[in-house]
Amino acid sequence: MTPDEFQKFYPPLLNWLEMTLDAYSTAAQTVASRGFPRLPLYFSANTLASTKVALVDQLPIPPLSSMGLTRFVDFERGNFDGITYLDTFFLKQAQAKNEAMHFHELIHVIQWSLLGPDRFLFAYANGLEQFGYRESPLEVMAYDAERAFTSSSTIFDAERLVATKLS
């Protein structure tokens, strides 16, 4: 995706994101309130207090095709268990107690925050286009960190890890 093309889709996409977060604002709870034991060892108290999670039956996915972005149709139809927009992530109800899943989406929250929405969306779209969902660089970073979280009790600063990988 060229920067010119991205500039065309960015305003309607951002508008959709803001309207979606607004619509779920009362249903969303802070991650801190979910009371997971390990997340505070990897993320700052501030991050866990400012990040929100909404448990839903159906994940809200932007209507990319109707915005004219037809080449992400696989992503649009994908059956995911979670997705992150800015400081809020959405999880299927079945993942409510899945701490690793919360960890994975928190990695995306840090990516959104450090890159800003324009650079996050541009990088995410290009990653999807070039490598597919699972091998896109922002997903590889989240899956690798999630694996480090689940496979070992060694504590690391997840926010610094993301900052280092993005720099």
Give the nearest distance from C-beta 115 to Zn ion in angstroms.
Answer: 14
User: What minimum distance in Å lies between the beta carbon of 87 and Zn ion?
Assistant: 15
The first and second tokens of residue 136, run together, are 């896109």
CA 156 to CA 148: how far, in whole Å? 9
Q: Which of 121, 142, 145, 158 binds Zn ion (CB under 5 A)?
A: 142
Instruction: Name the residue nearer to Zn ion (CB basis): 24 or 133.
Output: 133
CA distance 51 to 59: 17
Overall residue count recorded for the chain in this entry? 167
Q: Nearer Cβ to Zn ion, position 21 or 128?
A: 128
Interacting span for Zn ion (CB under 5 A) from 63-71, 121-129, 133-141, 146-154: 133-141
- Residue type (1 letter), 80: F
The number of beta carbons lying within 10 Å of the beta carbon of residue 86 is: 19
Chain contacts with Zn ion (rule: CB under 5 A): 139, 142
